[in-house]
Amino acid sequence: MKSKKILKNIGMTLVLPVATYLLFFILTRLTGNTGFGVGMDLQTIIYTSVYSCLISQAMTINLQTGRFDFAIGSTLVLSTIIGGDLAYKWGLGAFGMLACVMILAALCGLVSGLVYVILGLPPMVVSLGLAMIYEAIGFMYNNAKGLRLIGKMNYLIFSSFPNNIILMVIVLILLVIVYDYSKIGYNRRALAGGQKIAVDVGIREKKNAVICYVIAGALLGLAGCVYLSKYGMISPETGLSSSSYFMSAFLPMFIGSIFGRYSSQPIAVFMGAVVQAFLTSGLSALGASSSLMTVINGLVVCAFLIYSSNSYKLVEAKMFREKLEKANMAKGITAKANQG
Amino acid sequence: MAQRGELILETRKLTKHFGPTVALNAVDFKIYRGQITGLIGENGSGKSTITSIAAGMQPPTSGEMFFKGQPHHPSSMIEGIECGIGMIVQEQGTVPGISVAENIFLGEEKKFGKVLISRRKMQEEARKVLENIGLTNVDPAAPIESLNMQDRKLVEIAKTVYMKPEMLVVDETTTALSQSGREIIYDIMKKMRDDDKAVVFISHDLEELMEICDTLTVLRDGNFIATLDKEDFDEDLIKKYMVGREMTGDYYRSDYGTPISDEVVLKVDDVTTGEGMLMNFSMELHKGEILGIGGLSHCGMHELGKACFGETPVLRGTVTHVASGEKITTALNAMKHGLGYVSKDRDKEALVLTESIADNIVSAGYDKLKKGIFLMPSDTKKYVDKQVKDLSIKCASVKQDVQYLSGGNKQKVVFGKWIGRECDILILDCPTRGVDIGVKAAMYALINEMRLAGKSIIMISEEMAELIGMCDRLLILKDGQQSGEFFRSEDLNENDIIEVMI
């Protein structure tokens, strides 16, 4: 019984990525394209999965407790520019850079969290204000040049295989522990389910919120390093254009919220990121333009939203069928009794 | 006088103000060990206020409290629990999105690991906690939302008992429970009394209080009125204390033999609903009739009310508004044909708590009040003021948020919504649930007035006395189907009904 349940959970966790891969594999082979899902394309898929998964995890941790953080993109940009620059100037190497960027991003998260709990303003308002401030600091730093490390290969190690996957596995293990087996995770889920009741039994909502912001910040720092490793540079953003950094994070988050019950939410979010990467790469291999890809991506996000909002109807339909069968049986019994 | 145990909680001149409203007025109150103390009073009498202050849910405005002889001023529920006061509240106290075990040990996870929490240990311990109160059919690993309302309440009770409080407050919890659930909570209270702990039991059900409690304290309008020992319990005397006037119990209809019109206004034909138990059910409602619907919890009666108002999916069968011949399939359709519906779940399904009294009353009457695309403030004011006056809704202003009204006044606002609309058919699902005797009497008078004015009423209720006292005809449901029909008679009694109900 238990092993059956485990098998079902594994199957449900993998079904969507496997199905997406097979779909595009067949479609690309039918059109004569043999590049999808192998070689360089596979490496791009892995990079995209890791990068969007990290941002999506950072978004999910706050959004599920009702806090939409508009400063996600600006935190990533600011911490990567300053942290990367300092690490490079101080000659700290790749892991030193990773630590610098993560610490700075976590500090940005700490500031975001503290401002939110101290001011008591809606998270959207607070994060919009902070996004502008972070963008402005990133712009002012280094005379708006951002950070260029092109060619400094000893610093740019986090986007290539297998480093990116190792990084992802470590992050996922840590997140599963935090989400499912730690007090922080328990408290976070309780606050997401019923804030007042959770607070009444002593769960400290503000402390938990600040911790979530800090964890989200650290994850964004990691995402920043992966991004920097891929492109060798990062430019400052202004006018809230940093929001483009998290636009790809929605689909993994929605998939994570639907499939999380079969494994653990961080794993399901990663699976969502893999699905998105297959989708992007597959459409590209089929020759879709970037506008068409955006439209299709949007449609898939809508499809998942529609499903998650209406999934109860499937259960309901089954329940209704059973109820009608029961009513028919009862009717038969009554009719028989009347005849008798 | 009953023998008292050690004094555990004492309040001296305890006062609580909510703005200009005096919820508690210098109340002196004592709770002793080894006793179940009943607390009774009309809505807004201060029962929940005094216990919630003792449990740390809110601070008093002035006055003193002593718990086990020591000054007591908890600043939160946690402090209350740490002192030894556990409270089971009226509202749902479980958190969705987490498991039964996680709900039981909410805030106590550290017991199962300092860094990493052992789910297995937590679930094993949760199973013991549930078994301790006799709840053996609940899986500790199951998500809490997979449980029905009663089991969720029992999980909450198990959690409170697990904390081993010295004093347990049960605040109108039994209304949400069936008889089996009630038995569990009665046993817990009795066991605590036998273990020399103290229990405070708040309920509107006087019969229940008189049976379970050792002493009964009556509050009225925030004032302490009297404490009675078990040997002095007298229903009429307690009612007199509660409302400050004689209440002999005959606040139901006094007419018998009134003929029911032949004119059918609403027809339910072979209805099976998607939700609940209701199946293959048929009935007819006549003009000027109060049709009572009764049964045990989960018998399908609440779903019947919803189906008549187009509020729940009907899998088979029809509900027909006879005069127009139209089928009722949606609430909008029902309203168009003069139907009104007072839901059992007042706070969630009948009111918008964060909106004003005026907005709530007007909400069902926009189509009656609108002039083109406009609503005239003078018209809406007249419409609202009439309901507030006719129903004697106690409020500082019609702009006051409904959430701050007492249960009885909230229910009057719900009635006002539909009466203002001049509905011809009114479906009342537990219309007097959680309201005090004074408001109940006013509701019954109002329902009778509507009947005399030719309105047709479906009255769904879990109180048999109410159904017998108010209805022209009574249909009893069992397992979703009609199991009995009774006509208004002086000889009709609860025993006749119970026979077809169980």
pLDDT in tens, A262-280: 889 999 999 999 999 999 9
- Residue B285 has what pLDDT? 96
The phi-psi region of residue A160 (left if phi > 0; otherwise alpha if psi is between -120 and 50; otherwise beta) is beta
Distance CA(A103)–CA(A222), nearest Å, equals: 10
Distance CA(B405)–CA(B43), nearest Å, equals: 10
pLDDT in tens, B214-230: 999 999 888 999 999 99
pLDDT in tens, B358-394: 999 999 888 888 888 888 999 999 999 999 988 888 8
- Residue B277 has what pLDDT? 84
pLDDT in tens, A54-83: 999 999 999 988 899 999 999 999 999 999
Report whether A9 contacts A262 (CB < 8 A). Answer: yes
pLDDT in tens, A142-196: 888 999 999 999 999 999 999 999 999 999 999 999 998 888 888 888 888 888 7
* Distance in Å from the first CA to the final CA of chain A: 45
| Whole-number average pLDDT of chain B | 87
When pLDDT is averaged across residues B469-476 and rounded to a whole number, the result is 94
Q: Which residue, among B76, B95, B116, B298, would best test binding to A if mutated, counting the most A CBs under 10 Å from its CB?
A: B95
pLDDT in tens, B52-98: 999 988 899 999 999 999 999 998 888 888 899 998 887 677 888 88
Residues of A in contact with B279 (CB under 8 A): 323, 326-327, 330
How far A67 CA lies from chain B's nearest CA (Å)?
17
Distance CA(A299)–CA(A307), nearest Å, equals: 12
Please tell me if residue B77 touches chain A, with a CB cutoff of 8 Å.
Answer: yes
Report whether B186 contacts B199 (CB < 8 A). Answer: no
Report whether B305 contacts B299 (CB < 8 A). Answer: no
- Residue B316 has what pLDDT? 93
Distance CA(B427)–CA(B72), nearest Å, equals: 47
What residues of chain B, 175 to 214, have a C-beta less than 8 Å from chain A? none
- Residue B247's pLDDT band, with cuts at 50, 70 and 90, is very low
3-state secondary structure of B127: helix
Does pLDDT of A20 surpass 60?
A: yes
Distance CA(B446)–CA(B461), nearest Å, equals: 16
| % of chain B with per-residue pLDDT over 70 | 94
Distance CA(B68)–CA(A238), nearest Å, equals: 63
- What is the third-level CATH fold of B262-338+423-436+451-502? Rossmann fold (3.40.50)
Give me the DSSP letters along A175-223: HHHHHHHSHHHHHHHHHHH-HHHHHHTT--HHHHHHHHHHHHHHHHHHH
When pLDDT is averaged across residues B150-168 and rounded to a whole number, the result is 89
Please tell me if residue B109 touches chain A, with a CB cutoff of 8 Å.
Answer: yes
When pLDDT is averaged across residues B448-468 and rounded to a whole number, the result is 90
Q: Name the residue among B95, B97, B315 with its Cβ closest to that of A323.
A: B315
pLDDT in tens, A288-313: 998 999 899 889 989 988 888 887 78
pLDDT in tens, B165-191: 999 999 887 766 777 788 888 999 999
Comparing B250 with B451, the larger pLDDT belongs to: B451
**B254 vs A331, B250, B261, B433, B475, CA distance in Å?**
39, 8, 19, 22, 20
Q: Name the residue among A189, A201, A327 with its Cβ closest to that of B98.
A: A189
Distance CA(A95)–CA(A329), nearest Å, equals: 69
Q: Which two tokens stand for residue A317?
A: 């339909």
Quote the distance between the C-alpha of residue B121 and its chain's center.
Answer: 37
Residues of B in contact with A323 (CB under 8 A): 272-274, 279, 315
The phi-psi region of residue B223 (left if phi > 0; otherwise alpha if psi is between -120 and 50; otherwise beta) is beta
Q: Which two tokens stand for residue B389?
A: 């006056």
- Residue B168 has what pLDDT? 93
pLDDT in tens, A108-147: 999 999 999 999 888 999 999 999 999 999 999 988 899 9
Q: Identical fold at B7-243 and B262-338+423-436+451-502? A: yes
- Residue A195 has what pLDDT? 81
Distance CA(B33)–CA(B3), nearest Å, equals: 11
pLDDT in tens, B27-51: 999 999 999 999 988 766 888 889 9
B97/A192 touch (CB, cutoff 8 Å), yes or no: yes
Does pLDDT of B297 surpass 70?
A: no
Distance CA(B406)–CA(B393), nearest Å, equals: 10
B78/A201 touch (CB, cutoff 8 Å), yes or no: yes
Comparing B139 with B179, the larger pLDDT belongs to: B139
**B329 vs A308, A316, A319, B309, B332, CA distance in Å?**
26, 18, 20, 8, 9
Please tell me if residue B122 touches chain A, with a CB cutoff of 8 Å.
Answer: no
Residue at A181: amino acid letter: Y
Distance CA(A256)–CA(B392), nearest Å, equals: 52
Q: How many other C-beta atoms are found inside a 10 Å radius of the C-beta of residue A182? A: 18
* Distance in Å from the first CA to the final CA of chain B: 39
What residues of chain B, 244 to 303, have a C-beta less than 8 Å from chain A? 272-274, 279-280
ipTM of this complex: 0.71
Comparing A169 with B432, the larger pLDDT belongs to: A169
B76/A186 touch (CB, cutoff 8 Å), yes or no: no
Distance CA(B497)–CA(B495), nearest Å, equals: 5
Strands (DSSP E) contained in chain A are 147-148, 233-234
Does pLDDT of B288 surpass 60?
A: yes
Q: Which two tokens stand for residue A239?
A: 């006018």
Q: Which two tokens stand for residue B273?
A: 């609903």
Domain boundaries, chain B: 7-243, 262-338+423-436+451-502, 354-422
CA atoms within 13 A on the CB side of B395: 26
How far B114 CA lies from chain A's nearest CA (Å)?
9
Distance CA(A42)–CA(B378), nearest Å, equals: 70
Does pLDDT of A315 surpass 90?
A: no
How far B478 CA lies from chain A's nearest CA (Å)?
12
Q: What is the CATH code of the structural domain delimited by B7-243?
A: 3.40.50.300
The phi-psi region of residue A142 (left if phi > 0; otherwise alpha if psi is between -120 and 50; otherwise beta) is left
- Residue B249's pLDDT band, with cuts at 50, 70 and 90, is low
